[in-house]
Structure 1
Amino acid sequence: MAQDSFLWDLPTLLILFALGLVASTFGAVVGLGGGVIIIPALLLLGPSMLGMDIDTTLAVGVSLGVLVFTSLTSTITFYREGKTDLRCALFFSISSGPMSVVGAGLTSLFEPDVFRRAFGFFMLFMVVLLLLRSRIKPFRGTWRYTKLYVDGNGEQLEYGYSMLPALTIGGIVGLISGLLGIGGGVLLIPAMVLLFRFPPHIATATSMSVILVSALFGSGMHLYRGEWDWQLVLPLAPGALIGGYAGAIISRKIGSKLLIRIMCAALALFAIRMIWT
Structure 2
Amino acid sequence: MSLLFYAAVGLVAATLGSLVGLGGGVIIVPALVYLGPVFVGAEISVATAVGTSLAVLIFTALSSTMTFVKQGRVDFKSGWLFFITCGPGAMLGSYTTQFVDAASFQLYFGLFMLVMALLLVLRDYIKPLNVQWRVKKQYTDPEGLVHNYGYSFVPALFIGLAVGFISGLFGVGGGSLFVPAMVLLFRYPPHIATATSMFVIFLASIMGTITHLSLGEVDLWMVICLAPSALLGGWLGAKIASALSTKKLMWVLRITFLLVAAKMIWEGIRAA
TM-score, with length taken from structure 2: 0.89
Deviations 1:162-188 (A, max 9, x none): 211111001000010001111111111
Query: Residue 130 of structure 1 aligns with which residue?
Result: 123
Deviations 1:230-253 (A, max 9, x none): 111101111111111111111110
Deviations 1:132-151 (A, max 9, x none): 13xx4x31222122222223
**Structure 2 residue 46 is matched with structure 1 residue 95:** no
TM alignment of 1:11-50, pairs within 5 A: 11-50=1-40
1:270 to 250, 257, 261: 257
TM alignment of 1:233-244, pairs within 5 A: 233-244=223-234
CA apart distance, 1:18? 2.5
TM alignment of 1:13-162, pairs within 5 A: 13-110=3-100, 111-133=104-126, 136=127, 138-162=128-152
Greater mean deviation of Cα atoms: 64-73 or 49-58: 49-58
Which stretches of structure 1, 4 residues or longer, exceed 4 Å deviation after superposition? none
Contact 1:200–1:259 under 8 Å retained in 2 = no
Greater mean deviation of Cα atoms: 264-273 or 155-164: 264-273
Query: Residue 270 of structure 2 aligns with which residue?
Result: none
CA apart distance, 1:274? 2.7
* Matches of 2:146 and 2:248, distance apart in 1: 21
Contact 2:5–2:39 under 8 Å retained in 1 = no
SS at match of 1:108: helix
Query: Residue 6 of structure 1 aligns with which residue?
Result: none
CA apart distance, 1:46? 2.2
What runs of 5+ residues in structure 2 fail to find an aligned partner?
265-272
**Structure 2 residue 167 is matched with structure 1 residue 177:** yes
Task: Give the direction of change, closer, same or farther, for the CA distance of 1:83–1:65 in structure 2 (3 Å limit).
Answer: same
CA apart distance, 1:223? 0.8
Contact 2:25–2:57 under 8 Å retained in 1 = yes
**Structure 2 residue 246 is matched with structure 1 residue 259:** yes
CA apart distance, 1:115? 3.3
1:214 to 175, 180, 204: 204
What runs of 5+ residues in structure 1 fail to find an aligned partner?
1-10
Task: Give the direction of change, closer, same or farther, for the CA distance of 1:212–1:267 in structure 2 (3 Å limit).
Answer: farther
CA apart distance, 1:124? 4.1
Contact 1:22–1:243 under 8 Å retained in 2 = yes
Deviations 1:19-57 (A, max 9, x none): 212211111111101111111111123222212110111
Task: Give the direction of change, closer, same or farther, for the CA distance of 1:22–1:124 in structure 2 (3 Å limit).
Answer: closer
CA apart distance, 1:74? 0.9
CA apart distance, 1:61? 0.5
Query: Residue 194 of structure 2 aligns with which residue?
Result: 204
Greater mean deviation of Cα atoms: 160-169 or 114-123: 114-123
* Matches of 1:260 and 1:233, distance apart in 2: 31
Task: Give the direction of change, closer, same or farther, for the CA distance of 1:268–1:160 in structure 2 (3 Å limit).
Answer: farther
